[in-house]
Amino acid sequence: MTQRRYQYIAYRLFSNTAFFVPILVLHIESKTGSPTLAFALIGIYGVSVFATEIPTGLIADSFGLRSALVVGSLLSAIAACLLGTATSFGALAIGQIALATALSLQSGADSAYLFALFPDNKLYESLEGSSTSAKYVGLFISSVAGSVLYVLDPRLPFVLSALASLLAVACLVKLPVANSLERIDKGHFKVTFRQATAQLQSSHSLLLLLFFAALSLAALSSIYWSYQFYLESIGVRPELFGTIFAMAFLASSVGAAVAKKVNQTFGYRKTFAALGILIGTVAVLMGFVRSGFGAFFPIITQSISGYMSPTLRILIQQESQPRTRATLLSLESMLHRIFMSGTVF
């Protein structure tokens, strides 16, 4: 049991060790030579996320949650290689689509698979927080290293990202396959709109929270991604660029740890309600972006994301009906992707 815990946490760590994250915008613009084309490519990524989020559930339904995660990790390695070697707009677009599909395969399925491995609620809740922290630690480490490696050789961050994805696969193959009952937790294809509406009537309060968070985080995501281009446009060096985003991902890990502690003390619904206060605070601080405070926006928005993610997934897994959990996991996955691909707006 203990070995399974460490193997799963290691999977979350390696699957989110993407050395190219802090320099992807710089890399894309250097290849296209145009900020407009760079925006278009990230827009393609955002659209691809929405287009692939539902179809990728078919793999989990048909072949199991672990299979979906393995395929997603392998596709992440392929996407990293494509993005690192591409020299044309078309090749970069294919890389972005592959990356979006890889993330969609793993988003939601990772939490459902964790619940299948550890169905005990208390153990699952603890591991959800720990694995979320591991995820952001991976992003923190890769952000620091990736920006420095990019200066040495622009291909290195992509090569190391591909290797990290393969290590994630190695961790997964040592874990057991989820049983057939738990496969449907990602089951997008098996939930019709009418069925989902009927099943979710008992979850209206959670849906309202999802709707509120989606609107708020969609607005914040536009700031988050737009600020990447703002930093790039004023000539920020890749090393500093990576440091800013490394601090942002570290803040996410801290946010997840804080959420875990607050959850244990005050309960999950109060914790999630407190998210509204954080979002309101960020909204007030928006006016300072032109005075130099804007450098803190990636840090603030990522800390909110880290705070939100484990809490929301734990709330979803408290639903008793597998179909209800399936639909809510789909919504949560899309919410997270909205946050990370705000330029589509």
Between 337 and 163, name the one with better pLDDT: 163
> Residue ranges of the alpha helices (H) in the chain?
2-15, 24-32, 35-53, 57-63, 65-85, 89-106, 109-117, 121-152, 156-173, 180-183, 193-200, 204-233, 238-266, 268-285, 297-317, 322-340
pLDDT at 242 over 80: no
| 46/28 Cα distance (integer angstroms) | 15
Confidence of residue 126 (pLDDT cuts 50, 70, 90): confident
Between 210 and 3, name the one with better pLDDT: 3
Q: How far is CA 338 from the centre of its chain?
A: 9
pLDDT at 79 over 90: yes
Query: For position 197, what pLDDT does the model report?
Result: 47
pLDDT at 291 over 60: no
pLDDT at 13 over 50: yes
pLDDT at 297 over 70: no
Between 113 and 36, name the one with better pLDDT: 113
Which of the residue ranges 36-45, 199-208, 279-288 has the most confident prediction, judged by mean pLDDT?
A: 36-45
Query: For position 81, what pLDDT does the model report?
Result: 94
pLDDT at 123 over 90: no
pLDDT at 71 over 70: yes
pLDDT at 218 over 60: no
Which of the residue ranges 46-50, 251-255, 279-283 has the most confident prediction, judged by mean pLDDT?
A: 46-50
Query: What proportion of the chain, given as a percentage, has pLDDT over 90?
Result: 14
Query: For position 333, what pLDDT does the model report?
Result: 63
pLDDT at 92 over 90: yes
| 201/23 Cα distance (integer angstroms) | 43
Query: For position 322, what pLDDT does the model report?
Result: 63
Question: SS in 3 state form for 186-250?
Answer: HCCCCCCHHHHHHHHHHHHHHHHHHHHHHHHHHHHHHHHHHHHHHHHHCCCCHHHHHHHHHHHHH
CATH class of the region 2-344: mainly alpha
| 49/97 Cα distance (integer angstroms) | 8
Confidence of residue 114 (pLDDT cuts 50, 70, 90): confident
- Averaged pLDDT, 157-166: 93
pTM: 0.68
Query: What proportion of the chain, given as a percentage, has pLDDT over 70?
Result: 50
Q: How far is CA 37 from the centre of its chain?
A: 24
| 310/263 Cα distance (integer angstroms) | 10
Mean of pLDDT over the chain: 71
pLDDT at 249 over 70: no
pLDDT at 223 over 60: no
- Residue whose pair of structure tokens reads 């484990």 in the numeric block: 310
pLDDT at 86 over 50: yes
Domain layout of the chain by residue ranges:
2-344
pLDDT at 169 over 70: yes
